[in-house]
Copies of this chain bind each other. A is one copy, B any other.
Amino acid sequence: MDKEKRIKELETVIECNARHVDELNELLYSSKIINSSLDLYQVLDHLMELAKKVTRAGASSALLLEDDKLCFVSASGTKSAEIKRQYLDKHEGIAGYVVQTAKPIIVDDVTADPRFSGKMDKQSGFVTHSILAVPLRIENSVIGVVEAVNKVGGGVFGDDDEHMLSRLADFAATAIHKAKLFGDLNDLFLATIKALANAIEAKDPYTRGHSERIRDFSVSIAIELGVTGADLKNIEIAALLHDTGKIGVPEAVLRKQGKLSEEEFGEMKKHPVIGAEMLVSIKQLHEAIPGIRHHQEYYNGRGYPDGLKGEAIPFFARIIAVADTFDAMTSDRPYRAALSDDQALGELKKCSGEQFDPECVKGFERAYNKGAIISQKKTLHPLAAQ
């Protein structure tokens, strides 16, 4: 009988251990998934799925602290993060309470808890019953809250769920923090080159805001032509920097009101090469630089600096050429007023196959028709295109 009892005991231990092993394997798997990306929304999407899974919850959500607000950044693996960003005050709702206390909390019935804010339910039509909320912590500071909502099957969340979600939140907080650092550095990089490009183009009084518009137009065309990921980032960089070589063109030429002499035009024509050479030593820009050097090439081979023709012209450069010319045509110049969008689009089509790659012109037209191209003059002359 004693032996019988001992066997039962040992079997219980084994069962318990097996659950523990499952749990650890689940956490290990979660850690791997969550740490696999440096993209904030991807990290959050993973977190939403895993939070539901480890706690057997019907839904999940994540809120991050931003300037004293608790910003609702993701829910149940949907991409709502990128679209609608709702806010709670820093200490509002169950999540706000978790921020205050830096401790997990289980609420079996939110209708009986005065801390619960019905805001999200009202806005989304979702009905919250129970919540398990745990802090996302980096060292000793709370950066946000992750919530598991409504136990599947209608029960309530238990200590096991709290334990699992807390351990998951541990990984997630680090991954979120790193993704934010990466995103911040990327924003800093783009904002700084934008600021410097703006300053350089301010030397040319006719091109204010040009680099940013060319960036927007080029990215829109590229998206139409199926460009994605790192290529999209490279075209963004190339477009922002395409005219920075103008820093090497004398002010007297840049600012001249009348027509340029042949010699002056020769100076002006150096800017794509100067721009490319300024950046040539930067390894990570090798994909972007051809877009800068060749944005003045013509599809028929009559452009500069190298007289490249057709597909020999780097793809990014063919895109930027279309964006650049459309912006030039729809901006005022000392010797002519801006063309209307329709007139400019007509010119692009007329020069398609000569100055421009026909595919890029088509891509431009599709982007334009979707409203993705806003010319400088559009808002100033709302009737110009009539």
Interface residues in chain A, defined as those with a beta carbon under 8 Å from any beta carbon in chain B: 3-4, 6-7, 10-11, 13-14, 17-18, 20-21, 24-25, 27-28, 31-32, 35-36, 38, 170-171, 174-175, 178, 181-182, 184-189, 191-193, 195-196, 198-200, 202-203, 244, 247-248, 250-252, 274, 278-279, 281-282, 284-285
Which of B170, B191, B193, B279 contacts A32 (CB under 8 A)? B170
Which of B32, B188, B248, B279 touches A171 (beta carbons < 8 Å)? Answer: B32
A212 to B122, CA, bound (A): 56
Picked from B6, B17, B171, the residue with its CB within 8 Å of the CB of A18 is B17
Q: Is the CB of A195 within 8 A of B10?
A: no
Query: A35: which B residues are within 8 A, CB to CB?
Result: 31, 35, 171, 174-175, 178
| A–B pairs, 8, beta carbons within 8 Å | A3-B7, A17-B18, A182-B182, A191-B282, A199-B247, A199-B248, A199-B278, A251-B252
Ordered nearest first, which 10 A-B pairs have the shortest CB separation?
A24-B24, A10-B10, A189-B189, A188-B284, A17-B17, A196-B196, A3-B3, A191-B282, A31-B31, A35-B35
Q: Which residue of B17, B244, B247 is within 8 Å of A21 (Cβ)?
A: B17
Look across to chain B and name the residue whose beta carbon is closest to the beta carbon of A194. B282
Once the chains are docked, how many angstroms separate the CA of A24 from the CA of B167?
14
Complex Cα–Cα for A53 and B187 (A): 39
How many angstroms from the CA of A83 to the CA of B191 in the assembled complex?
34
Q: Is the CB of A202 within 8 A of B38?
A: no
- A17-B21, A184-B284 known; A193+B191 contact, CB < 8 A: no
Q: Nearest Cβ in chain B — how far from A223, in angstroms?
A: 22
Partner of A38, one of B20, B178, B282: B178
Contact at B279–A192, with CB atoms within 8 Å? yes
Q: How far is the CA of A252 from the CA of B251 in the complex (A)?
A: 9
Chain B residues whose CB sits within 8 angstroms of the CB of A250 once the complex forms: 251
Q: Is the CB of A7 within 8 A of B10?
A: yes
In the bound assembly, the distance between CA atoms of A20 and B17 in angstroms comes to 10
Knowing A7-B10, A31-B31, A170-B32 are in contact, say whether A285-B192 is a contact too (CB < 8 A). Answer: yes
Whether A189 pairs with B188 at a CB distance below 8 angstroms is yes
Is A32's CB under 8 angstroms from B32's CB? no
| Interchain nearest-CB distance for A37 vs B (Å) | 8
Cα of A38 to Cα of B20 in the assembled complex, Å: 31
A89 to chain B, nearest CB (A): 22
With A3-B4, A32-B171, A178-B182 known, 5 other A-B pairs at CB within 8 A are A3-B3, A10-B14, A31-B35, A193-B193, A195-B278
Q: Give bound CA distance, A3 to B31, whole Å.
A: 41
Complex CA distance for A187 and B196, rounded to whole angstroms = 17
Q: Which residues of chain B have C-beta atoms less than 8 A from A252's C-beta?
A: 251
Complex Cα–Cα for A170 and B31 (A): 11
- Shortest beta-carbon distance from A271 to chain B in Å: 11
Closest to A24 in B: B24
Return A281 CB to nearest CB of chain B, in Å: 7
